[in-house]
A and B are shown apart, each in its own frame.
Chain A
Amino acid sequence: MGEIKWKVTGVEELSLALHEVAREAPEIMDAVTADVAAGAVEDARRLVPHRSGRAASSYKSRGHVVSIGAGVPYVPWLEFGGDVGRKGATHRAKVKGGRYFYPSLTKRLKDIEDIAADMIEQMTSIEVE
């Protein structure tokens, strides 16, 4: 007679892989976020208005930490806008999400999302035979 036999293979391997990744996660994330930081800074520098280049060069990354505007006090104003100067006479439209770095970061993170999805696909595929 006919019978249905079913089995699932690979679960133990998946579990081991996930445990391994969990152990290595901090180091993995250090590497990935450091690269995201560097990429986002690089993108932002291209977008920041150039006169002397001081503003752009104040966008820096060190590892996974990004610093913006060190020694160039008007950079947050360039990035987000606002009213500055005497009695706030110099107006620049406020952009809540920022103009340069944060959009660049968002784009880079979206790339990372795609990359992670690729990696998850590589890590595990499920087929029903």
Chain B
Amino acid sequence: MARQIDINLNAETRGFEQGMKSSADAVDRLDKHLDAAEGGTKKFDAALDKTSDGLEGATGKFRSTADLAGGLGDVLGIQAAGPIAGYAMGFADIADGLGGLLAPALQKAKGAFVAMNATLMANPIFLVIAAIAALGIAFVIAYKKSETFRKIVNAVFGAVKHGAGEFVEFIEDAVTKAAKVIARVADIITTPYRLAFKAIASAWNATLGGFHIGIPGFLGFGGFDFTIPNLPIPALAKGGPINGPALVGEKGPELFMPNSAGTIIPNHALGGTNVTIVIETGAADLDELIRKRVRVLGNGNVQTAFGRR
């Protein structure tokens, strides 16, 4: 049996450096993602304004919708919105040639907008749905009523040769695509928060959370090891009680079941539609913070430094 045991506590902490670097790299990627998304949001906002203000003319309506979809694509950084933007531009070209033919349909679309309450109007998700639905209404009506329009449509959209029925499917498909895109918009808005939270949790779990102590077999006890458990930020994909911050939705939608009565404050009562996610970085000098607490405040002792005794 070994008569002396030597334990190097630092041997298992070398992942810290790499873990923090990985986290920093992940945050760098997040930053780039956000830069692109915020830029896109500006276009998106501008397009929303144009859409709401531009109901007078068919061309403006369609072009602003194209901008809207284009802005959406920028927000998402994906191609999914591209076809929608393309469709809208195609409609705009058609509208240019049709003059006032679409006016009645657009009035109907305008009515649809007016019918929506302020809450919905403030929500880009509903606006996009409404805009695309309005396009569908206008397009189908015009297609059904106007032989000229049908000819133009068939000329512009050479692939579409089989009448309004397929166009309805086409529009429905566009709406379906839009819904998917919209789902991603909601996801994008919440993603930075979730990603940042995950980055922190991962930083922990890749470093101190993964602190691993091994007891070698040569001591004659068969050898074993244990790992310090991960940071207690609960991920609730498997459900469970919650009494503080928790990572939710990481594996799809989850249901929060409160243990006591409460009140849901509707979105429109939240007082504004500006969303700012603030990541406070209070310790650009985290290492300095640690040193200060350990070596100065604690006179070299971690327990004292952190007020635990």
**Which residues of B from 170 to 214 have beta carbons under 8 Å from A?**
189, 192-193, 196-197, 200, 203-204, 207-209, 211, 213
- Grouping DSSP codes into helix (H, G, I), strand (E, B) and loop, the A interface class, with mixed when no group exceeds half, is helix
Report which of A6, A39, A112, A117 forms a contact with B275, defined as CB distance below 8 A.
A6
Residue B219 is within 8 A (CB to CB) of chain A in the complex: yes
A65/B287 in contact, CB under 8 A: no
Which B residues touch A3, using CB under 8 A? 45, 48-49, 122, 124, 273
Q: Does B17 contact A (CB under 8 A)?
A: yes
- Determine the chain A residues whose CB is within 8 A of the CB of B294 once the complex forms: 31-32, 35
Q: A4-32 CB contact bits vs B (8 Å, 1 = yes)?
A: 11111111111111111111111111111
Give the CA-CA distance A82 to B2 in the complex, in Å.
12
State whether A129 touches B290 (Cβ < 8 A).
no
Q: Is the CB of B273 within 8 A of A124?
A: no
What chain A residues lie within 8 Å of B232 (beta carbons)?
Answer: 117
A120 touches B200 (CB 8 A): yes
Given contacts A11-B27, A17-B284, A18-B27, contact A39 B301 (CB under 8 A): yes
Asked if B24 CB lies within 8 Å of chain A CBs, one says: yes
A1 lies within 8 A of B121 (CB)? yes
The reply on A70 being an interface residue by CB < 8 A is: yes
- Asked whether B137 is an interface residue with its Cβ less than 8 Å from the other chain, the reply is no
Q: Is A96 an interface residue (CB 8 A)?
A: yes
Bits for A115-129, please: 1 = Cβ < 8 Å to B, else 0: 111111011111111
How far is it, in angstroms, between the C-alpha of A106 and the C-alpha of B212 when the chains are bound? 10
Contact B277 A2 (CB under 8 A): no
Distance between B39 CB and nearest chain A CB, rounded to angstroms: 11
Q: How far is the CB of B2 from chain A (nearest CB, A)?
A: 6
Residues of B within 8 A of A29 (CB): 10, 13-14, 16
B4-A102 in contact (CB<8A):
no
Contact A65 B6 (CB under 8 A): yes
User: CA–CA, A125 to B276, complex, Å?
Assistant: 13
Would B4 and A67 count as touching, CB distance under 8 A? yes
Q: How many residues of A contact B (CB 8 A)?
A: 80
Chain B residues with CB under 8 A of A30 = 10
With the chains together, A96 CA to B226 CA distance in Å?
11
In the bound complex, residues from chain A placing their C-beta under 8 Å from that of B41 are 5-7
Q: B17 touching A25 by the CB < 8 A rule?
A: yes
Contact residues in B for A35 (Cβ distance below 8 Å): 294, 300-303
Residue A55 is within 8 A (CB to CB) of chain B in the complex = no
A3 to chain B, nearest CB (A): 5
Chain A 57-101, CB-CB to B under 8 Å as 1, else 0, gives: 000000011111110010111011010000000000010111001
- The answer, yes or no, to whether B283 is at the interface (CB within 8 Å) is yes
CB of A104 to closest CB in B, whole Å: 12
Determine if B306 and A105 form an interchain contact, defined as CB atoms under 8 angstroms apart: no
Bound CA span A75–B16, Å:
32
Nearest-CB distance from A26 to chain B (Å)? Answer: 6
Decide: A76 near B49, CB < 8 A? Known: A4-B123, A112-B302: no
B60 to chain A, nearest CB (A): 15
Contact B279 A126 (CB under 8 A): yes
Contact B204 A128 (CB under 8 A): no
Rounded to whole angstroms, the CA-CA distance of A35 and B14 in the bound complex is 16
Query: Which B residues contact A (CB, under 8 angstroms)?
Result: 1-10, 13-14, 16-18, 20-21, 23-24, 27-28, 30-31, 34, 38, 41, 45, 48-49, 52-53, 118, 121-124, 189, 192-193, 196-197, 200, 203-204, 207-209, 211, 213, 215, 219-222, 224, 226, 228-229, 231-232, 273-287, 289-291, 294-295, 300-303, 306, 308
12 A-B residue pairs with Cβ-Cβ distance under 8 Å, sorted by A, are: A2-B273, A3-B45, A8-B192, A8-B279, A14-B196, A16-B281, A35-B303, A67-B5, A106-B213, A111-B303, A119-B289, A126-B277
